[in-house]
């Protein structure tokens, strides 16, 4: 993948940062955050143990990330997002929950994958409800693109998985096509997968389902 990446999948619309989020960001990021650097990480060294390693890209306010990390203390989780309110929220929850198996990098996920994560270091990657960029002229901003999936796949161990969930049907169709066209990956289902038990349903998702909206999960494994 080219080092030059002019189109990003996010816009830094920071919105309001609450006082609690700001305090958490200022005081806890040095404890639970990993600074972006052009240097490959040793994830076992970061977490202080040898354990399965999972990546989460785009964690919103962090509730799902914390729930998964709490339910699976045998695993380590590296969460990446760019938005300060969500990072502050997740840091606060890590501190309150006493979690030792969750760390944050506040940076562009593509650059983290390119510069900080070595090949075949991940047992799985979660991308839950990425921005669908619904307008056709913005589709080029969508995170799930062939180049990105090729890059991410190289960071998965053989047998490791990538799990994407979306509530935007047209984006789900594009994701299915992109993942299906990646030669390093194989679908675990005929098309869309049942929601794995480890992914908790969010309040937003539950509200949408009550309104008749769909949610599509896609789970592909590295060959």
Residues labelled catalytic: 131
Cβ-based burial of 19 (10 A; exposed 0-12, middle 13-18, buried ≥19): exposed
CA distance 34 to 42: 12
DSSP at 120 = T
Cβ-based burial of 181 (10 A; exposed 0-12, middle 13-18, buried ≥19): exposed
CB 76 within 8 A of CB 52: yes
**118 Cβ contact list (under 8 Å, min separation 6):** 40, 41, 155
Distance set, CA 78 to CA 21, 53, 59, 175, 193 (Å):
19, 8, 11, 23, 24
**212 Cβ contact list (under 8 Å, min separation 6):** none
At 86, is the secondary structure helix, strand, or coil? helix
CB 220 within 8 A of CB 162: yes
């Amino acid at each position: 993948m080219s080092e030059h990446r002019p189109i990003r999948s996010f816009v830094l619309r920071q919105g309001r940062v609450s006082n609690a989020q700001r305090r958490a960001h200022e005081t806890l990021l040095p404890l639970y955050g990993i600074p972006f650097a052009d240097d490959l990480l040793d994830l076992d060294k970061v977490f202080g143990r040898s354990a399965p390693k999972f990546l989460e890209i785009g964690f919103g306010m962090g509730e799902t990330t914390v729930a998964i990390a709490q339910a699976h203390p045998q695993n380590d989780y590296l969460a990446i997002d760019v938005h300060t309110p969500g990072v502050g929220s997740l840091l606060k929850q890590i501190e309150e929950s006493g979690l030792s198996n969750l760390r944050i990098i506040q940076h562009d996920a593509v650059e983290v994958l390119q510069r900080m994560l070595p090949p075949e270091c991940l047992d799985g990657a979660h991308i839950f409800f990425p921005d669908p960029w619904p307008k056709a002229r913005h589709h080029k901003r969508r995170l799930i693109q062939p180049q990105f999936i090729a890059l991410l796949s190289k960071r998965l161990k053989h047998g490791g998985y990538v799990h994407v969930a979306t509530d935007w049907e047209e984006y789900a169709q594009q994701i299915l096509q992109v993942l299906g066209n990646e030669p390093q990956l194989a679908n675990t289902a005929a098309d869309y997968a049942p929601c794995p038990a480890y992914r908790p349903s969010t309040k937003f998702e539950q509200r949408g389902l009550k309104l008749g909206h769909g949610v599509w999960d896609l789970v592909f494994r590295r060959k």
